[in-house]
Amino acid sequence: MKIDKKEINKFYKKYAKNSTNKLIESAMTKNGIFNASYNNDMQVKHNFEFNTQVTKTGITNQKSSGRCWIFSGLNMLKVKASKALMLKILNSAKTTFYFETN
């Protein structure tokens, strides 16, 4: 289907007949699409209370070493491994990781 000027004018006339379209257009122009489409009912419906329990383990301190990505990954693996192997997590053991570059 080819859209020519005649088709565009037809679409515009149909659009302009609906007063709700003008209201929405004004709200979006003045406030932006995200603010104009804000749904307060959804905000009221979601009470921000969560009931998911997360297994708590000790915190491994990286001591400003810049390796937080290793520590966060290992903390997640530590919980999974302890569940799979049915072991108690020992937080007193300290492991240091070294990387060599050639």
Examine the domain organization and report whether 66 and 98 are in the same domain: yes
Q: Are residues 100 and 64 in the same domain?
A: yes
Q: Which residues, including other chains, have CB under 8 Å from residue 27's CB and lie 6 or more apart?
A: 36
> At 85, is the secondary structure helix, strand, or coil?
helix
pLDDT of residue 58: 67
In this predicted structure, what is the pLDDT of residue 7? Answer: 93
Rounded distance between C-alpha atoms, residue 48 and residue 73, angstroms: 27
pLDDT tens profile 26-84: 999 999 999 999 988 888 887 777 777 766 766 667 777 777 777 777 777 877 877 78
Q: Does residue 97 share a domain with residue 62?
A: yes
Domain enclosing residue 86, as ranges: 54-102
Q: How far apart are CA 46 and CA 58, in angstroms?
A: 31
Same structural domain for residues 15 and 36?
A: yes
Q: Tell me, what's the pLDDT at 100?
A: 43
Return phi, psi of residue 71, to 5°: -65, -40
Task: Please count the structural domains in the chain.
Answer: 2
61 and 79 together in one domain: yes
Which of 57, 50, 49 is CA-nearest to residue 80? Answer: 57
pLDDT of residue 98: 44
* Same domain, yes or no: 62 and 86: yes
**102 and 63, same structural domain?**
yes
